[in-house]
Chains A and B, each alone.
Chain A
Amino acid sequence: MSALIQAKNLHRFYGDTHAVNDVSIELNQGEILGLLGPNGAGKSSCLQMLCGALAPSAGEIIINGADLLDKPNQAKRSIGYLPDKPPLYPELTIDEYLDYAARLRRVKKSQLKTLRDQAIQRCGLEGYNKRLIGNLSKGYQQRVGIAQAIIHQPEIIILDEPTVGLDPIQMVEIRKLILELGQQHGIILSTHILPEVQAVCNRVQMIHQGKSVFNKKMSELKKTDQVILRLQKSPDLEELMSLPGIESINNTSNNGYLLNGKNLHSYLSEISQYCVEKHWGLLEICPKENTLEQIFLNLISGEGNQNSELNAA
C-alpha cells in the first residue's frame, strides 16, 4: 500500500528566512499524525505546502499517488484542509457555505445533500443550518471549518490547530471526531497542545526552527528501558542486580530506584515477586514512560546533542 502523503525534502523561504528546512512528511491510511512545534516553527507553512496553498521552494509532494505539482487538481481532490483561521464567508449560512465548499471539491449535485447532512451531523451543527456564519461563536465557526474540510470525504484531512478557541467540552468532542475520522482517513494535525497529541495521535513529528527534529510512533515514543521501583525498606542492591534483565540501578530518591536494562519491562513480575519475597515493602513498580512534554521541552529548549540522546533513550 502506498502512502497517502509522501513529501520529501521540503524547503520554503520567506525572503531570507528559511522557514522550512528539509522537512519530509509521510502519512499512511488510518494514521493520525501530530505535527508539534513551538510558535513559528514552520508547522503551518508545512501544512499549507501539503495542500497546495503555498508552493514549496524545493521538494516533492505526492498526494495519494498524484504529484501536487504535475496534477494539482487530482491531488487536491483527496485533501480536506482547515487552515489556522477557518476560511469562512460570514455572510453565508452554514448550508450555503458547505454546499459551496463541496462544489469547489467537485462533489456531484446528487450527493450534495447527503454529504452536507453527514458533515453537519458529524460536527454537531444540527439545527444551526440556517444560521449565518458571521453570527456564530468562535467555537461553532471552528466546527464549520472542520465540516468544510471533511464534507467531500477526502482520504487526507489536514487540520491546522483544530481545537483553538473551543471550550473544554467541545475540545473533547472534536478529539472524538478526529479519532473517529482517523479510522478511515489519514489525518495530519498541527497543534502546540501536548495532551491533545497524546490523546488522539498515533505518530508524532516535531518541527523546530523549520527542521524536523523528531518523528516516532506514539507506542515507541513512550517505551523506555527503565523501571521505577519504590520500596519501604532499603534493599540489598547487589541482590537486586542479580535479577535477570537489570543492568544498572540508580538511586533517585530516598527509597526510590530507577532500574535500567534491556527489555526490562518483560521482567516486571519477576522483580515484584522477588521484592515481596524479600519483604522489602513494595510500594510502587512501574515501567517508566516518556511523556511528550518531556521530549518536547528537551528538544525545544535543549541545544546540540539532545536529539541523539533521545534517540538513544
Chain B
Amino acid sequence: MILHIALRELRSLFLSPLAWIVLGVIQGIMAWKFLGFIDYFFAIQPELIKIKNSPGVTDLIVAPLFDFSKILLLILCPLITMRLLSEEKQNGSLKLLLSSPVSMTEIVLGKYLGALIFFVIVILLISLMPLALMSSADLDMGKFASGMLGQFLTIAAFISLGLYMSSLSSQPINAAAGTFGLLILFLIINIAGNATTGGDNFFNYLSITHHSIQMLRGIVNTSDIAYFVLFSLGFILLSIRQLDSQRIQS
C-alpha cells in the first residue's frame, strides 16, 4: 500500500514539468561546478606531486562536489516536498486517502518514499559525473561510497522536514518557505556552536553540516548515522501525528 502511494506520487511528479526542471537545473549547475573542480585540480596538480600523501581526486573533486550539491538540494528540496501533503489538502484529494482503508502511517510513509525515490535518482545522476573519472583517474571507492551515504542520509533528512512542513499547511508555498528556513537553520546552526566556546558540542550535534561533512571525509560514524535516522524518523512521526490531529481538530 505504501508502495502504491509512493509510485502515484512519483508518477505525478514526473508528469509535471517541475521534476524535469529540478533535474535539469541540478545537472546543469553541477556539471559546471564539476568542470570547475577539475580545472582547479589540473592547476594545482604540479604542486600536489611535491607533497607526500597529497589529497587525491576524491578529496579535491568528489568531496567538494558533493558538498556543493547540498546547497542545491537545500534550495530545490522544498519545491518538491511542499506539495506532498498540502496540495492534496488544497485540492481535496486527501479525502480519498482518508476514506480509504489506509492508515495515516501508510499515507505519510508512502509520500515520504515517493519523494525519497525521486531524490535518490537525483543523487545517482550527480554521482555519475565523478564516476566518469574512473576511466582516467584513481577513485577512492571507499570515500566515494561514504560520500554517497552522506548524500542519501542528508536528503532523507531534508525530505522528512519538508514533509512535516507540508503537513502543517494547505498552501504549498507556505510549506516551501518554512522548509527552506528550517533547513538553512539546521545547516548553519553550528556557526553559533563554533563561536561560543562552552556549548559548541550541543550546537554542533544539532547541525546537519557537522554530521554530513564527516562522511565526505570518508569517516562513517554510528553517531552521525543515528543523527540522520533520528532526524528523519522524528519528522515523519510528527507528520503522522499532525495528519491525525487535523482529522480530529481541523
Contacts and interface: CB of A to CB of B under 8 A. Distances in A.
B98 A86 contact: no
A27 B45 CA distance: 81
Interface stretch (B87-95, B119-127, B139-147, B214-222): B87-95
A161 B32 CA distance: 55
A288 B97 CA distance: 47
Interface stretch (B11-19, B174-182, B197-205, B228-236): B11-19
Interface string B89-112: 001111111111111000000000
Most buried by B among A75, A81, A103: A103
B247 A54 contact: yes
B12 to A, nearest CB: 5
B95 A106 contact: no
Interface in B176-216: none
Interface footprint category on B = 20 to 34
Interface string A51-94: 11111000000000000000011111101010111111111100
B103 to A, nearest CB: 7
Contacts of B103: 72-73
Contacts of A312: none
Contacts of B94: 87
A76 B99 contact: yes
Nearest to B88: A87
Most buried by B among A75, A88, A148: A88
A103 B101 contact: no
Nearest to B87: A89
B9 to A, nearest CB: 10
Given A53-B95, A87-B92, A104 B102 contact: yes
B7 to A, nearest CB: 9
Contacts of B95: 48, 53, 81, 83, 87
A148 B97 CA distance: 12
Given A53-B99, A72-B101, A73-B101, 11 more contacts: A14-B250, A55-B247, A73-B102, A73-B103, A74-B101, A83-B92, A83-B96, A87-B91, A87-B94, A90-B91, A91-B15
Q: Which 8 A-B pairs have the closest CB atoms?
A: A87-B96, A87-B93, A53-B98, A85-B92, A104-B100, A51-B99, A81-B99, A73-B101
19 contacts: A53-B95, A53-B99, A55-B247, A72-B101, A75-B101, A81-B96, A81-B99, A86-B92, A87-B96, A88-B91, A91-B15, A91-B16, A92-B8, A92-B11, A100-B8, A103-B4, A104-B1, A104-B101, A104-B102
Interface of A: 14, 48, 51-55, 72-77, 79, 81, 83-92, 96, 100-101, 103-106, 148
